[in-house]
Chains A and B, each alone.
Chain A
């Protein structure tokens, strides 16, 4: 089976859109970290973006079908790396999330596990021959995502663990989930959340996690603690107005971590409703372009891969921007492509590389 692969089929428009978002991100990182000890972060971010683009081209060359055929090895490696974190991980701020690599770098396996999960879920559903999902299939899909998710939750890293859920949901939804299954899962989830929050004996979530998750509902009640960040973020966004303002929230350091999790709040403060809406529009076009690529994928597996990326990206945007405008709790989920941070940037470009990979092979077979 000969395959014709050409960069003519590479999604250059998508790359341009993505780089525009990255550019806005770099600009905002520069503005937000000026006069702070993080000054110069935007230069590092540019390096990360270049590295990401390079990785994207590299991964687009490797046939995704070849990757999918070996996915069980990758999955085992992923689970192993999470176990390694549990055993050898660096404890930082009460959580064990990183492995110290030779050369002083820190490796956070939970990010690349996300990518493995997208592929694993895609492989699993692509191989299913039923139009409708059976309960055992449903359970197996849940287990594929659930095992690494619980391991990440144990680190504890609630935010990243949550980002695994949309991969599973997108998988079962496109894989032929039945309505009653959806309903059952929704009910189970509701009961589970209720148990986590209202049963004092269950310690799945730590107290600070519960506080962070609930304080966004009433940030004014606790302006010094968990609610402070939400309140400051809302003030930043709101004071931006239609066209943007002076940015006193960002530059006066009232806004917490304005270069990472709250970069969208910083951007909204400085560029107003018009600027913020513009960024949302860019993200929306990117997502629409991705779903279009999913539709033109050469096979079921390709569609699942691309839609997995769509699910993760949408979820990140929903949770991060939702947090910034006060709709969502503070979970520590960065805004993909804009937020400062190597792991996040590399993951996004690797994921986009997978999308390119699928697209470049759309006329094959």
Chain B
């Protein structure tokens, strides 16, 4: 027992003091560890916390025609961005985000997963070209959804209704497959790149370099300062060799039909117009296309995505007779060949009919060309043999890529004995040569190949490479397409090609195969063709189903000597070459009229001060139309209509650099 004043154990009080000292030493160590030992690490983490990289998107270069008129422009739009570096549980917010932006929540989640491997400071694009009310949704939810932001993005504005769609191509988000290819190695997921056409071929020139803003942000993702900014470098503008006036004529000629029209300057290989039908509207998938729409395009039997000018491999039909004529002339056979056409002839035990059942009577080379006598060319083919035909056809570029500066050109087929053995492990039968003589059988070429070959003949053997961009117009250091200015010389006897082209100029005269396409005052030389898709027997079996109609062909140039322009028309299901010829002459007439300054549906050239109003060929989408993302090309009806500025864009003017090369 002890008294009331008995003191508390001094030892225990001292122990308590030491315990407190111990606690403080531990805490001091905690501070030492963080603030002295690992301060660099935590300073870095603090920096990372508050710096956000937001890209500044570089606009793609505009695409102009040969006279500097705008074909593809950009229009300002806003995209919705998802910033992943904010301290938010993104999965929890997904439903609200998806609802506000009219997206599928699962799609949003899939997208977040897709970009999971990318650095956190790089934002994800959730939706391009958002509508004003989606923009309002983001603004109204700055506090609830700080991870959402908008970014200004220049979006591609293509001509409407698929005008020139195949040549221009379209852009899209770079795909996984593309990223694995070496030419796309510098791109990162989310980049918008050219997917087809010129947009793809010249992507490196058209695509600028994105800039970036390093923003200081607080924990709510709000910008509180700017650390640095690198400006975006806009893409280079690209001048095509295409002439909009001629392109319009070609588009109108093929409207409502299937096939392709290509026009070229045979002296240089510059493509002046290129149309493929059916077409598609690249505005529909300027960035991303819905799966349904895409499936519809891919499964359409008319293959709207195919650029038939360079991707259709078809029998050239009678147009091949020009190549036959050259081969025959060079071998010294054709000029002296006289055949009596009785509406057909027998070769190797089989009868081959002429398209004129009653026969052409006595036929020489000239008549054989303008009357397109099959029997004459059967005979010529028999005399030449397949290898001599293949020699000249190959020299003129058939069965090979032309080297045109557009992606995914196909090769076509020019058969030979060696070709047959290599591909079928079979000997060439002499009977097969007869069909080749009239451009049937195994021969398959693209319109651009055929045009190039005929152009070479019209130019006395000078074989050019077709191209849509003059390499001189490209930024320096751009060498991928420098080969397009190279030419080859195919030796052809001048008497031969002048004789043949003279005969071709009679095709549109009353004695020729396409007199209805004749245009007074224009000297057009050409050749019609109608090519079977299936044998006549098969066709009869299917009761002349329209899908199996013959393809109409026409290749024509003007003038007959030293031509300025050559046009090749493929009119699918056109039955007869004379129908194709009518389409071709429309285009040729447009060219000649323009040269002769005949008032026509021409687009005004740039004003003399070098300034052009935006939206020369189209109107920009108005507010309420933005949602659909569809625009329609206003095909110019009168010159005065064209240069009107689009609403809301009227104040935006820009300079077309004076290259001094405007033609």
Contact = CB atoms under 8 A, between A and B. Distances in A.
Interface in A21-61: none
B50 interface: yes
A113 interface: no
Given A174-B9, A318-B23, A326-B30, A273 B49 contact: no
Contact of A252 (B13, B19, B50, B89): B50
B188 interface: no
Interface in A79-135: 126, 129, 131
A129 B38 CA distance: 53
A207 interface: no
B46 interface: yes
A184 B219 CA distance: 47
B217 interface: yes
Interface string B27-54: 1101111111011011101110110000
A40 to B, nearest CB: 20
B16 A325 contact: no
Nearest to B89: A224
Given A249-B46, A321-B30, A254 B219 contact: yes
Interface of B is mostly: helix
A325 B43 contact: no
A299 B4 CA distance: 7
A308 to B, nearest CB: 11
Nearest to B34: A238
B34 A237 contact: yes
B542 interface: no
A124 to B, nearest CB: 14
B12 interface: yes
Interface string A303-316: 11001001000100
Interface string A231-243: 0101111111110
Contacts of A287: 20
A159 interface: no
B2 A129 contact: yes
B12 to A, nearest CB: 5
Interface in B1-30: 1-2, 4-10, 12-13, 15-17, 19-21, 23-24, 26-28, 30
Nearest to A318: B23
Interface string B363-397: 00000000000000000000000000000000000
Given A176-B9, A224-B88, A241-B39, A170 B33 contact: no
Contacts of A234: 34, 42
A235 B45 contact: yes
Interface residues of A, number: 56
Query: For this complex, into which size category does the number of interface residues on chain B fall?
Result: 35 or more
B7 A303 contact: yes
B33 A173 contact: no
Contacts of A299: 4-5
B20 A314 contact: yes
B263 to A, nearest CB: 61
Contacts of B36: 241-242, 273
A236 B34 CA distance: 9
A241 B12 contact: no
A253 B34 contact: no
Contacts of A294: 8, 13
A318 B219 contact: no
A295 B35 contact: no
Most chain B CB atoms below 10 A, which of A126, A295, A304, A325: A325
A346 interface: no
B50 to A, nearest CB: 5
B41 A238 contact: yes
Contact of A239 (B42, B219, B220, B224): B42
A236 B217 CA distance: 16
B8 A303 contact: yes
A264 B435 CA distance: 94
A331 B31 CA distance: 19
A139 to B, nearest CB: 21
Contacts of B31: 237, 268, 273, 276-277, 280, 325
Interface in A249-271: 249, 251-254, 268
B16 A291 contact: yes
Contact of B12 (A173, A223, A254, A314): A173
Most chain A CB atoms below 10 A, which of B16, B28, B34, B38: B34
Interface string B510-537: 0000000000000000000000000000
Most chain B CB atoms below 10 A, which of A173, A238, A272, A280: A238
A245 interface: yes
Contacts of A126: 4
Nearest to A274: B35
A310 to B, nearest CB: 7
A51 B32 CA distance: 36
Given A234-B42, A299-B4, A228 B87 contact: yes
Contacts of B408: none
A217 interface: no
A253 B218 CA distance: 6
A317 B33 contact: no
Contacts of A327: 26-27, 30
A234 B42 CA distance: 8
A173 B8 CA distance: 10
A322 interface: yes
Most chain A CB atoms below 10 A, which of B10, B12, B27: B27
A225 B87 CA distance: 9
B30 A238 contact: no
Contacts of B224: 252
Nearest to B46: A239
A321 B549 CA distance: 88
Contacts of B49: 232, 235, 248-249, 252, 254
Nearest to B91: A224
A237 B7 contact: no
A291 B88 CA distance: 47
A238 B24 contact: no
B13 A174 contact: yes
The 7 closest A-B pairs by CB, nearest first: A238-B42, A325-B30, A239-B46, A273-B35, A238-B34, A252-B218, A241-B39
26 contacts: A174-B16, A223-B87, A225-B89, A232-B49, A234-B42, A237-B31, A242-B35, A242-B39, A245-B43, A253-B218, A254-B46, A254-B219, A273-B31, A276-B35, A280-B27, A280-B31, A284-B24, A288-B17, A294-B13, A299-B4, A300-B7, A307-B8, A307-B16, A314-B20, A317-B23, A326-B34
Given A236-B46, A295-B10, 5 more contacts: A234-B34, A239-B39, A239-B46, A280-B31, A325-B33
